[in-house]
Structure 1
Amino acid sequence: MTDPLSADPRGFTGPVPVVGAHVPHVRSLWDPRVLWVTLGSVSLIFLAALTSLALTTVMPIVSADLDGDALYALAFSGTLATGVIGMVAAGAWSDRSGPVTPLATAVALFVAGLALDAAAPSMELLVLGRLITGLGSGAQIVALYVVVARVYPADLHGRVMALFSAAWVVPSLVGPFLAGLVTEQLHWRWVFGGLAALTIVAFGMIAPRLMHLSEQSATPREPGVGRRLLFATVIAAAALALGLTGELTASISAALGWAIAVVALAVVGVAILPLLPRRTLRGAPGLPSVILMRGLIAGALFGAEIYVPYLLIDRYGFSPAWAGLGLTTAAIAWAISAHVSGRHGDRIGNARIAVIGSLLLLTAAAACAVSAILTLSPVVPIAMWSFAGFGMGLMYPRLTVLTLAYSDRANEGFNSSALQISDSVGASATIAVMGLAFTSLAATGSGFPVVFGIAAVLALAAIVPGLRLGHAQERS
């Protein structure tokens, strides 16, 4: 086997030697030596998730205030697109000089974007703020993954990722209500301003405890960083084009929308190759399969879940508040299964987690498709969508743990950014294709079964790389 410390980071996929932790003999996330790192990291993840959900809640009001209907979709898709650039930059930077400076820069961009949104006098400036926030949020998550790899011993990585999953889930329970309450009682600008202030406080918890991680301890193995950033920018542009195809289909021509989508997907497929480990799209055993599976399940879950409330409103006459019930049950199930995965993942096994999780996601999507066709009781899609949440909670943190286990100190940033890029691109591409299909089939009434059918196919496909995940150093 090639020496892992001298190989190209995209070519190495096997287990790597575990480098001694900076904080030795830590056996708990709440050990006083890492307590503030734990609290600060989880708080930053929580606030990033809360920001995403707050935007969903307040955006209709923002758009009305700023007369910005034409840029409504771009305010969502733009953040995801620029996040890919942030992920690549933070990964390369973290491998070269440690995660502290990249994390500080990411937080600064995130806060600057929120501050611009809070003060934006026009929709154009608000969208600019969203693009800046996307750069920061994409870089922030990658830098935090490197922090986890550098601070905590390997046997605690699963528990950290379970906490990160919970930090994404909890905002789905309280975020929409809190954002709506602040908007009603104060103003939507306070939502963005408040999140910016809280992010500064959260970073203050973690920053002083990470200064010892700034030193470079291994030779980075990332040739062509500038080239990779160029490819990330191309992906971002193609993702923005994909996000606009649904509107083109509805307003101009379905054929034009599909043509642009096909070209954009082809561009993404070529440009993403240098940003992932070699043989990822072929599902090679080890790290490539971990990265590929993450993109497939992200596309299945995040693509389909935006249609669950839509189905309940359109077919069952639910109010918007009650329509969110399906997502709430899934969020609770996700939190429970993430805890199970974090504590018992080694005992369950990677292949078993992948198969069980994918089948649960497949079952949920199929149940929603059948409900749309036969107009079954609304209890069916609400209850069955919780299966999707449970399956994702099992798989999501485990795939992150595996990514870190397949990494060493010289490529933690590259691999972490690859995982997040696969996640973001998988979700955004699937959402765009589902949107095109839904819009094209609106007149026939078969849009819901088709989008949930796409999710079911992706969940089934995820089993193939799931059986090839292997084992690295994730076992305690």
Structure 2
Amino acid sequence: MPIDETESTTASANVAGSLDTENMATQTGTAPADLPPPGGVLNPRYRWVSIGMCALIMLSAFEALAVTTIMPTVSRELDGAGLYAFAFAGPLAVSVVGMVLAGAWSDRGNPRNALFASVGLFVIGLLIAGTATSMGAFVAGRLVHGFGGGALTVALYVIVARVYPPVLHARIFAGFAAAWVIPSLIGPVIAGLLSDTVGWRWVFLGVVALVVLAMLMVVPAMRGVHAPDATSERPPWDIRRIGWAVLVAVAVLVLNLAADVQGAVQWIAPVLGIAVALFALRPLLPKGTLRAARGLPSVILLRSIVAGTFFASEVYVPYLLVSQHQVSPTLAGLALTAAGLSWSAASWVQGRYPQITHRVTALAGAIGLSIAVASLLATAILDLAPAVVIVGWAFAGAGMGIVYPRLGVLTLEYSTIENQGFNSSALSIADAIGSAIALAVAAIVFSALGPLGGGWPFAGAFALAAVLCVAAFGAGPRILRR
């Protein structure tokens, strides 16, 4: 998917001075209204666009949950333990370039075209990963579909802004979260079963077939998605911005490879990598993001923090269960299923009851993540039962489900038709880079504590997540303007 109660109590009513209802009506063809149209996002006007986009989200969710479930098996079969964390962080790093390109493409023209191109790259990456015979080839495939996945996210956000009136934004983002329900229920279990029977490769190759089917439905639905009005000024391609994105990706990739380096370089490289990444990030994010300025900058920053907390912990959840408790991949996937279900349920609640204030959603998100990380730390140190991990990780999903969609809603509320692509890409960039940097540092800590054995390497990785939970409590109150 990453507060002030004096703001409007509904996610759609607070336009923050940047989205004028009348202008949005012009762009979407809907009349200004405080109430959603009959049928909501399934109104005949939006039905097939909603179903098509949720189908893509569903397949992306299945792939994400499945990879996390089978990675211990892939790492063992391809002898790639040294690239375990990189297989997750690398795609996130290169996705930044895809996000910037998709954002610029969407601001200049039709986000539909950016969506089709990103889906094509996503499929190519899955094919490479599914047929890989070495860990290097597998990671290469992950990098390709990570690039496409980053562009896909931004294109979908811009399509939401172009198609739906503001009153439906919270509901369509809740629909995106609901699209995780079926993958959460069956994705990890199916991935585990495939890995235990016909082989992990079919986790990727099977998704390819499903994406093709989904696109057969999406293409006709996207005919109603258009470029900005002809009278709108279209920004030129910003080559410098693309260059900054490439520099960020390179810095994060180098940072992730530092986990395999020994000696002083193992600690110097991360410091330099993080410094370069943060320096290059500044032109890609709203001004003031890195110092938590109020409003949109803090929305972007909080998205980065919660994403880093969740995803840097999640990749070690099945690993902890499989390596320390000898749990099968199928059973290890239950923890991911629990989190996916609680994420979807919490997202539905925040979308259904918009009177839950932004301040409350930010606080609840930080609390849910804190409970989850505490359960992981306790299990790693005290060797608690696997059930503690499964139940505890469900709190992480609930925390993300309630805060993640609201941050997407606020981003669009702070945006205009001219900068929807920039702000949407900034949100996704912060999401990806926050996760990639957190994954890299967690991998370095995990590697450094490896000689201690037992649960201590896991405890070190989860301790980093605990620090990020504290940062989430600090950034949350600043996501709304004074």
TM-score normalised by L of structure 1: 0.87
Is the 1:313–1:320 Cα contact (8 Å) retained in structure 2?
A: yes
The residue type paired with residue 470 of structure 1 is L
Give matches, 1:417-436, under 5 Å: 417-436=425-444
The equivalent residue for 2:62 is 50
Q: Cα deviation per residue 1:356-415 (whole Å; 9 max; x = unaligned)?
A: 221221222223323433444544443232222111110011111111111121111111
The CA RMSD over aligned residues, in Å, is: 2.8
Q: Cα deviation per residue 1:295-341 (whole Å; 9 max; x = unaligned)?
A: 01111111122233344445555444333333332222111101001
The equivalent residue for 2:308 is 299
The equivalent residue for 2:246 is 233
- Structure 2 distance, partners of 1:363, 1:56, is 21
Extract unaligned runs of 5+ from structure 1.
1-11
The equivalent residue for 2:369 is 361
From 465, 469, 472, the counterpart of 1:459: 469
Greater displacement, 78-87 / 173-182: 173-182
Greater displacement, 58-67 / 285-294: 58-67
The residue type paired with residue 456 of structure 1 is A
Q: Cα deviation per residue 1:41-60 (whole Å; 9 max; x = unaligned)?
A: 01111112222333345556
The equivalent residue for 1:289 is 298
Count of aligned positions: 456
- Structure 2 distance, partners of 1:411, 1:293, is 20
From 396, 406, 423, the counterpart of 1:398: 406
Is the 2:129–2:138 Cα contact (8 Å) retained in structure 1?
A: yes
- Structure 2 distance, partners of 1:71, 1:437, is 15
Is the 1:23–1:152 Cα contact (8 Å) retained in structure 2?
A: no
Extract unaligned runs of 5+ from structure 2.
1-14, 32-36
Is the 1:329–1:386 Cα contact (8 Å) retained in structure 2?
A: yes
Is the 1:350–1:471 Cα contact (8 Å) retained in structure 2?
A: no
**How far does residue 294 in structure 1 lie from its aligned partner after superposition?**
0.3
The residue type paired with residue 28 of structure 2 is H
**How far does residue 223 in structure 1 lie from its aligned partner after superposition?**
6.6
**How far does residue 16 in structure 1 lie from its aligned partner after superposition?**
2.8
Does residue 265 (structure 1) correspond to residue 271 (structure 2)? The answer is: no
The equivalent residue for 2:460 is 450
The residue type paired with residue 448 of structure 1 is F
TM-score normalised by L of structure 2: 0.86
Is the 1:13–1:288 Cα contact (8 Å) retained in structure 2?
A: no
The equivalent residue for 1:8 is none
Does residue 90 (structure 1) correspond to residue 102 (structure 2)? The answer is: yes
CA gap of 1:225–1:453, structure 2 versus 1, over 3 A, is same
The residue type paired with residue 429 of structure 1 is I
Does residue 151 (structure 1) correspond to residue 160 (structure 2)? The answer is: no
Is the 1:162–1:397 Cα contact (8 Å) retained in structure 2?
A: yes
Percent identical = 46
The residue type paired with residue 129 of structure 1 is G
**How far does residue 74 in structure 1 lie from its aligned partner after superposition?**
4.6
Is the 1:13–1:287 Cα contact (8 Å) retained in structure 2?
A: no
Does residue 30 (structure 1) correspond to residue 42 (structure 2)? The answer is: yes
Is the 1:291–1:418 Cα contact (8 Å) retained in structure 2?
A: yes
**How far does residue 288 in structure 1 lie from its aligned partner after superposition?**
0.5
- Structure 2 distance, partners of 1:31, 1:335, is 22
The equivalent residue for 1:440 is 448
**How far does residue 429 in structure 1 lie from its aligned partner after superposition?**
0.5
- Structure 1 distance, partners of 2:213, 2:401, is 28
The equivalent residue for 1:17 is 20
Query: 3-state SS of the aligned residue for 1:281?
Result: helix
Give matches, 1:32-431, under 5 Å: 32-57=44-69, 74-119=86-131, 124-182=136-194, 186=198, 188-217=200-229, 219=232, 225-248=238-261, 253-344=262-353, 346-431=354-439
- Structure 2 distance, partners of 1:363, 1:61, is 28
Is the 2:188–2:333 Cα contact (8 Å) retained in structure 1?
A: no
- Structure 1 distance, partners of 2:79, 2:378, is 39
- Structure 2 distance, partners of 1:335, 1:376, is 27
**How far does residue 32 in structure 1 lie from its aligned partner after superposition?**
2.0
Is the 2:69–2:332 Cα contact (8 Å) retained in structure 1?
A: no
CA gap of 1:122–1:44, structure 2 versus 1, over 3 A, is same
**How far does residue 452 in structure 1 lie from its aligned partner after superposition?**
2.2
**How far does residue 62 in structure 1 lie from its aligned partner after superposition?**
5.8
Is the 1:45–1:167 Cα contact (8 Å) retained in structure 2?
A: yes
- Structure 1 distance, partners of 2:409, 2:164, is 12
Query: 3-state SS of the aligned residue for 2:291?
Result: coil
The residue type paired with residue 264 of structure 2 is A
